[in-house]
Chains A and B, each alone.
Chain A
Amino acid sequence: MRKTLAFAAALMAATVLGGVANAKTFVYCSEGSPEGFDPGMYTAGTTFDAAAHTVYNRLLEFKPGTTEAEAGLAESWTISDNGLEYTFKLRPGVKFQTTEYFTPTRELNADDVIFSLERQLKTDNPWHQYVPGTSWEYFAGMGMPELIQSIEKVDDMTVKIVLKKTEAPFLANLAMPFASIMSKEYADKLDAAGTKEKLNQQPLGTGPFTFVGYQQDAVIRYKANPDYWGGKQKIDDLVFAITPDASVRYQKLKAGECHLMPFPNSADVEAMKADPNLKVEEQEGLNVAYLAYNTTQAPFDNVKVRKALNQAINKEAIVDAVFQGAATPAKNPIPPTMWSYNDKVEDDAYNLDEAKKLLEEAGVKDLSMKVWAMPVSRPYMLNARRAAEIMQSDFAKIGVTVEIVSYEWAEYLDRSKAKDRDGAVILGWTGDNGDPDNFLHTLLGCEAVGGNNRAQWCNEEFNTLVMKAKETTDVAERTKLYEEAQVVFKREAPWATIDHSLSVVPMRKGVEGFVQSPLGDFAFDGVDIVE
């Protein structure tokens, strides 16, 4: 209710200035409510779409449609020879947005960058806990507190970040939503007014869209930022219509109530493609779903058993039943769109006779096992139950009895980490920054055993390759190391790789200029509507 006044004021301003009636409004039927508007505090893609990609910019930005980081608010940067000091030159003349609740008096400078990052790094920063219960999940998750030594202001337009150790993926991390750059001037004003929390409710940044208002669980409104350093957008207004149900989103899209929607029901995609008013863009997502055996427990410590089961999984059937084809069977632990993907690796073919033979060779009879199925739908695995049921019926054909188990999601994640876990776990991963390290080391490295490494698999050969790649900055060399690691992975089969899902984006025919992000973000700069 309190929001309403500001909302009303903003609205009147918009009506007076812009003439809402003739404005070009782009409506996005988003899949959920944002958790808040400070991207550093949250981890959900929904929140990043609503805050990070509209209102804010970062020092580096992912080049649209790729996972390659390019200049954003930092115009250029240099890395010292020892790989520990990163010096960023800021882009001059970048204006912050002018809104009903704040009018900036200065342009972007080093203070803003330091403010945005230090509040996440330093526990004694007054903004570290500005909303009770704040935690900087992504910042911590990417290992930044252990990595960053200091953030220094060299001059007004130059910032130097000193690291404690070399880390090849660091630059890509700075392009991630949590590293969004906020206005220190705005924060100071909120602090003075005693309303620090507004930073999370009324965001203000340098991005392409200016925040107008949010009605909880219903709608978020933005208008194009006329002062945007990249030029004003072609659309005038951007609206997020929050619509959690996929079939409802489809109905709205069909009725022209929105222009673009994320995450359609795979069952509807065919009809969408046939609809003359719609077009559907597909792209391979940056993700993988897998079945992780517990490689420390008999008989799954025997590679022959793992291989046998891998050959008894009908990935095509899973892809059809779970995704209605909107996914590709996976053979490597990293997705095909990622650099260093080794296409020469050959997948275990679906062959029940061969699987039976391998089991016999391994001396395993009357095997009964548990398969863990996630209780929730994730982009890489829409329906783990269904996938498990398919595995169950195939495994039965080679004499393996499967019991499907599931737990509540948090418990599932927690229990599946246990080193002595009983059974194979269906799980997956969506890339954070597009670096292979974020899959191969994070999910299969020795350090991650008892944690992200659900296979509890520590293979010296594999681990050495991955660790070496982490410390190397030369991409060609890293590629070679990762390609080799994938060969080792396939030979040892700690996982059955299941699928990489396609990200399918249906939109109205008139929508132009939307570029899908392999990271799964929905960003609307450069979008236009041509009727």
Chain B
Amino acid sequence: MTHLSAEPITPLKGVSRKEQLSEFWYYFSENRGAVMGFWVFLLLVVIALLAPVIAPHQPNEQFRDAVLVPPFWAEGGRLSFLLGTDQLGRDMLSRLIYGARYSLFIGLVVTTVALVGGIVIGLIAGYFRGWVDTVIMRVMDIILAFPSLLLALVLVAVLGPGLMNAMIAIALVLQPHFVRLTRGAVMAEKSRDYVVAAKVAGAGHFRLMFRTILPNCTAPLIVQATLSFSNAILDAAALGFLGMGAQPPTPEWGTMLAEAREFILRAWWVVTFPGLAILITVLAINLVGDGLRDALDPKLKRS
């Protein structure tokens, strides 16, 4: 939905990797919010990985005698369904736990695809310049001219509703940000001494692009990647909510919300928990993203 673009950051040079890492961790751990977000995120990963072990029920198992049972603390709640059941008598908690798998999977795949695609295209544009650059950047302008969710919505309509297609569509609308970032960084780096030196030493295009220049543009890309991770989860949930994302009975959170919407006034828990799960996940990732930016951004460190 939203895209904060990370500012290009001057890379840290002349410091050993280990020192870099410890300096990074020092600044990162300064930020309490980021550390908290990091632990929450780790917890979500563990939950997702261990879903079959910790979920009390199968996510799609229907308990016909327990339809729309409220959470255990509410009147009529049962201990066997801690967060209640949905309209088909499925355990909310188990569905939410399995849902974590989908959301994290979506974030991971979308970010990876957008990141890799964006880096390759951006490197090519920034390195070769000329008409290649012009064409690529015009195409990126075109993609960015549409509101991302609208473009994703139409793309999914073209490809057919479903989780996989939703992920493809979101990756496509997210990658121009990576392209722009990479291109900008490459153009800034290209004229630097170390690149010129490598070129003189006879390094090929490929080596120059990926071995020499790229490692020095990683910081802004990492920050943008965390932002994309949370955006991907939000957008996928929004598409699910509009009925164009994961299809039921998949326990994807946005889809669960859409499915439960008609029960909004009768059973608050079927609407509240999936949304809360999305919020917590996205918030945790954004906290980490903020921490990363602060830790990697020397400008802010100074002040």
Contacts and interface: CB of A to CB of B under 8 A. Distances in A.
Contacts of A393: 62
A247 B264 contact: yes
A408 interface: yes
B23 interface: no
B262 A265 contact: yes
A250 B265 contact: yes
A268 interface: yes
B64 to A, nearest CB: 6
Given A247-B264, A321-B67, A385-B248, 9 more contacts: A246-B262, A247-B262, A265-B263, A266-B262, A267-B87, A267-B265, A268-B265, A375-B243, A406-B247
A267 B249 contact: no
Given A389-B62, A393-B62, A408-B160, A267 B266 contact: yes
Contacts of B264: 247
Given A247-B261, A321-B67, A375-B161, A389 B266 contact: no
A307 B265 CA distance: 40
B265 A386 contact: no
A284 to B, nearest CB: 22
Given A375-B161, A385-B249, A408-B160, A390 B62 contact: yes
A317 interface: yes
Given A375-B161, A389-B88, A406-B247, A317 B64 contact: yes
A271 B160 CA distance: 37
Given A386-B87, A389-B249, A393-B62, A271 B266 contact: yes
Nearest to A254: B265
Nearest to A382: B262
Contacts of B249: 385, 389
A408 B266 contact: no
Contacts of A406: 247
B43 to A, nearest CB: 31
Contacts of A320: 67
A200 B25 CA distance: 69
B161 A386 contact: no
A35 to B, nearest CB: 20
Contacts of B161: 375, 408
Contacts of A375: 161, 243
Shortest beta-carbon contacts, A-B, top 9: A265-B262, A267-B263, A385-B248, A267-B266, A267-B262, A389-B249, A247-B264, A321-B88, A393-B62
Tell which of A386, A407, A408 has the most Cβ of chain B within 10 Å.
Answer: A386
Interface string B230-257: 0000000000000100011100000000
Interface in A219-255: 246-247, 250-251
Nearest to B89: A321
Nearest to B248: A385
B87 A268 contact: no
A246 B261 CA distance: 10
Interface of A: 246-247, 250-251, 265-268, 271, 317, 320-321, 375, 385-386, 389-390, 393, 406-408
Contact of A386 (B88, B157, B247): B88
A148 B98 CA distance: 60
A321 B265 contact: no
Contacts of B266: 267-268, 271
B223 to A, nearest CB: 38
A246 B265 CA distance: 11
A328 to B, nearest CB: 19
B272 to A, nearest CB: 15
Nearest to A408: B160
7 contacts: A251-B265, A317-B64, A385-B249, A389-B62, A390-B88, A393-B62, A407-B160
A393 B64 CA distance: 11
B132 to A, nearest CB: 37
B88 to A, nearest CB: 6
A385 B87 CA distance: 13
A317 B62 CA distance: 11
B90 to A, nearest CB: 9
Interface in B151-174: 157, 160-161
A252 to B, nearest CB: 13
Contacts of A317: 64
Nearest to B243: A375
Interface string B258-271: 00011111110000
A390 B60 CA distance: 11
Nearest to B270: A267
Nearest to A250: B265
Q: Name the residue among B60, B243, B248, B267 with the largest chain A CB count within 10 angstroms.
A: B248
A321 B264 CA distance: 16
B244 to A, nearest CB: 10
A321 B67 CA distance: 8
A317 B88 CA distance: 10
B297 to A, nearest CB: 44
Nearest to B90: A389
Contacts of B88: 321, 386, 389-390
B248 A321 contact: no
Contacts of B262: 246-247, 265-268
Contacts of B160: 407-408
Contacts of B261: 247
B169 to A, nearest CB: 15
Nearest to B67: A321
A29 to B, nearest CB: 16
Contacts of B157: 408
A265 B262 CA distance: 6
B62 to A, nearest CB: 6
Nearest to A393: B62
Contacts of A265: 262-263
A85 B263 CA distance: 54
Nearest to A389: B249
A247 B60 CA distance: 26
A269 B249 CA distance: 25
Contacts of A390: 62, 88
B122 to A, nearest CB: 34
B120 to A, nearest CB: 32
Nearest to A322: B87
Contacts of A247: 261-262, 264-265
Nearest to B64: A317
A186 B248 CA distance: 51
Contacts of B247: 385, 406
Given A321-B88, A386-B87, A393-B62, A271 B248 contact: no
A364 B267 CA distance: 43
Nearest to A411: B160
Nearest to A320: B67
Nearest to B249: A389
A113 B128 CA distance: 73
A246, A271, A321, A390 interface centre (most CB from chain B within 10 Å): A321
Contacts of A408: 157, 160-161
B11 to A, nearest CB: 47
A390 B248 CA distance: 13
B246 to A, nearest CB: 12
Nearest to B62: A393
Interface in B111-133: none
A375 B247 CA distance: 10
A376 to B, nearest CB: 9
Interface in B65-120: 67, 87-88
